[in-house]
Amino acid sequence: MSFRRLLFAALLLCQAVLSQTGKGKADDAFFTGAPFSLNDLLQRVGVIADKRLSIAIEHRGLSFAPTPADLDKLKQAGAGDELLLHIKVKAPPPKPVVTPVKPAFAGLMTLQCAPAECDIAINGKPRGTTARGAIAIDGLPAGETVIDFKKDGFEGQQISASLRPGAAYAHTAKLKPSPAYQAALGKDLLAKMTEKLGGAAAFQQASGLTASGSATLWQTGGQKTEWKLLARLKLPHMAYFEITSGSLKWWISLSGTDAKADGSKPMRGGPVAAEMEKLAALYRDYQPAMLVELLKTMRLTVPDGVAEPSGAWRLHAAGQDGALNVFLTPEYTPMRVVSESAAGVEVIYADYAIVQKAWYPKSMTIKFPDQPHGLELHFTQVRFDPKLSPRELHR
């Protein structure tokens, strides 16, 4: 036995003698104090009588729940069976094993966005960019979630979603382009449209035109007539239309708003003659070169901020005399113009071909809201002649 244990035993013996003589018997310090730990008991077992140690454990209690290994250590240190039984009885219940609750996860989140490439953030953390307008995100915890959709040039959008454990979630966002972005994109589309049509050089060539082909006229009420057509233009003011069918012939000559017309006697005052002046003016005013010049004077925007899924574009133009919607192919060729005025004229361009240096529509349809009503033109021959004499157009 070590000196330290001998000294500790002597002190305890003195304490026992004092208690037997009555000094401190009523207030034994060994019976008060903090609960015994395993180390406390290992130091006292074999030194203090099991009976006295049992009484102290009764008063002070234990700070641990002994395991079989702990009891074996105490037994090896000299604890008797009664003391070990008392330790078992007075031991506090073992602390419950707390199993951490695994966080519940939501199912797959699918987000769609227009425009197609939107930056996505979940609870303030970037989670990627949509590809072809969509992104799938997995492994998100269930609960309240904040989703941000962002794109340069567009107003951002933020939503809150309640994600349920195991449940899929889907949302579609459509971002609104900022006014500045709409205007910049509108200007850019006009530039690309102008370039596609051939630019200033082509427009100068197309300022004088002679074309021949066929015309189909739908009068108010839907009556349809077929004609051979000769057309001449000297932009921006002059136009000449001449239609023939069998023995019937009618011509109309325009210079600005000044109009002259004549033809076969049976057609004078008739519905075809009445329609021709209006249609000839629209044919002149909606020539591609004239359309570009008109758009230059208007406020241009792209309301959607992006192309349609097909790749086509809608260009909106607003001016003092009204507004237009110009629809372009993915290659920026004008294919349709719709007026927002009360007249509601719609012009359709088709059958584009290279004529000299210009990309020019050899078919053109003019429609009125009360369809079928309008004019459909198909040219087989188109020739540009900027030096075309005015005498050939205005009689």
User: Which domains occur in the chain, in start order?
Assistant: 3-90 (no CATH), 109-176 (2.60.40.1120), 181-392 (2.50.20.10)
Mean pLDDT of the chain: 90
Q: Encode pLDDT of 326-372 as tens digits.
A: 999 999 999 999 999 877 899 999 999 999 989 999 999 999 987 77
Nearest to 64 by CA among 35, 31, 103: 35
Angle at 279 between CA 276 and CA 284, to 5 degrees: 120
Sign of the CA dihedral 272, 277, 279, 280? positive
Q: Encode pLDDT of 273-293 as tens digits.
A: 888 999 999 999 999 999 999
Q: How many residues does the chain have?
A: 395
Q: Is the pLDDT of residue 26 over 80?
A: no
Q: Which amino acid does the sequence have at 61?
A: G
Q: Is the pLDDT of residue 1 over 60?
A: no
The 8-class DSSP code of residue 199 comes to H
Q: Is the pLDDT of residue 150 over 80?
A: yes
d(CA 176, CA 178): 6
Q: Encode pLDDT of 153-194 as tens digits.
A: 999 999 999 999 999 999 999 999 999 999 999 999 999 999
**383 vs 391, more confident:** 383
